[in-house]
Amino acid sequence: ADAELVGLQIGIINALPRCRKLLAVFSDAESQMKQIVNPPKRSGQQVAIKASKAIRRWLSTDPDRQIRFYHIRSALNWGVQHEAHKLAKSVLRDAAGPFSHTTYDYLRKLTAKRAIDRWVTLFNANHDHTNQNYKGTHWLKLSDPKRRGNAGHDHMVPTYFKGGSWLPRVEGLDTQLTARLCRTITNHAPIGHYNLRFGKPERGVACPCGTADIQTRRHIFHDCPRMIDREDALRVPSHDLDDLLSFLKSNPLAFAFEPEEPP
């Protein structure tokens, strides 16, 4: 949207000195054409005001002068408009600077993208400059349906858009399920392996099922007879968030604190 608005401004200001009576503006950006003659209180306002001022000066010198706006859909690939569109996409983009046409919305979007890119880079890296794993060594990788087909990079990564990557999938569900999901993903859960890692062996290390000396997340997923015996696709999570949620719903004991005995 910002690029179209800037393009209209540059085109109009450069065309006005060459027009005697009529300026015809052809564009596929209907909303931006309206902003040129009615600058909104939003990002890009200064761009629209500059064009609007130039139009007003041009119209004020001759009452017979006119400016007409024509909305031509880009899908039509119409004549000179299509050629201008291809030319605009082929030219080099100037860097942002103090006298550029860069808008606040564009800079905010660029800053957010850089922050997310850095976040994802840290999340995917094995270690950072302090030789520490950013997300932790026990983080459970879950596949992201939106990224499937991207070999080696199809797992879920963090973002702040629309509430993030993981928690929106449990929105509206009970808090206990959400808590168990977080424990499962981080491996910070009331299980034997956690107790052993953090020096709390008195809380129990072996699985209550009696088939594992150390109760690990993998054991709970794959081997623990306490878990409901269902089809493999649901019994054993395939590192997909929906499958994991299904597993947790079907097995309320998984990654949950043992109920306290009555006094």
> Which of 90-99, 106-115, 200-209 is the most confident on average?
200-209
DSSP state of 165: S
Task: Tell me which residue has tokens 């400016």.
Answer: 67
Query: What is the model's pLDDT at position 233?
Result: 44
Burial 79-88 (b: 16+ CB within 10 A, else e): eebeeebeee
- Which pLDDT score, from 0 to 100, does residue 91 have? 66
Residue 57 confidence (pLDDT): 95
Q: Is the pLDDT of residue 58 over 80?
A: yes
Q: What is the pLDDT of residue 231?
A: 47
Average pLDDT over residues 26-36: 90
Mean pLDDT of the chain: 83
Per-residue pLDDT, averaged over 53-63, amounts to 94
Q: Which of 65, 64, 86 is nearest to 74 (CA)?
A: 86
Assigned domain for 241 exists: yes
Which range (35-49, 123-137, 192-206) has the least confidence? Answer: 123-137
Q: Is 103 inside any structural domain?
A: no
Q: What is the pLDDT of residue 2?
A: 78
User: Looking at 60-69, 175-184, 226-235, which range is the least confident one?
Assistant: 226-235
Do both 61 and 130 map to the same domain?
A: no
* Structural domain includes residue 104: no
Higher-confidence residue of 83 and 24: namely 24
- What integer pLDDT is reported at residue 211 of this predicted model? 92
> Which of 135, 169, 202 is the last residue before a domain boundary?
135
Average pLDDT estimate for 91-120: 74
Average pLDDT over residues 56-68: 94
Q: Are residues 131 and 172 in the same domain?
A: no
Please check whether residues 201 and 121 belong to one and the same domain.
no
pTM comes to 0.62
Q: Does residue 47 sit in the same domain as residue 81?
A: yes
Instruction: Give the Cα separation of 141 and 153 in Å (integer).
Output: 11
What is the pLDDT, as a whole number, of residue 136?
82
In the chain, how many domains are there? Answer: 3
Q: What is the pLDDT of residue 234?
A: 46
Residue 79 shares a structural domain with residue 127: no
243 and 178 in one domain?
yes
The secondary structure of 187-211 as a DSSP string is T-SSSHHHHHHTT-GGG--S-TTSS
How far apart (Å, rounded) are the C-alpha atoms in residues 206 and 226?
A: 13
256, part of any domain? no
List Cβ neighbours of 151 (8 Å cut-off, separation of 6 or more): none
117 in a domain, yes or no?
A: yes
For residue 190, the enclosing domain spans: 161-250
In a domain? residue 257: no
Least confident of 65-69, 118-122, 193-197: 118-122
Instruction: Clarify whether residues 114 and 68 are in a common domain.
Output: no
Q: Are 24 and 70 in contact, with CB atoms under 8 Å apart? A: yes
Q: Name the DSSP letter for residue 174.
A: -
Query: What is the tens place of the pLDDT at every residue in 200-235?
Result: 999 999 999 999 999 999 999 988 998 885 445 445
Q: Is 90 exceeded by the pLDDT of residue 62?
A: yes
146, part of any domain? no
pLDDT tens readout for residues 144-174: 766 655 555 578 888 887 777 888 878 777 8
Mean pLDDT over 12-28 rounds to 93
Across 35-39, average pLDDT: 87
Say yes or no: 165 and 238 in one domain.
Answer: yes
Q: Which two tokens stand for residue 20?
A: 């005697």
Please report whether residue 114 resides in a domain. Answer: yes
Same domain, 87 and 115: no
Closest by alpha carbon to 251, among 208, 231, 221, 210? 221
Cα torsion 154, 155, 156, 158: sign: negative
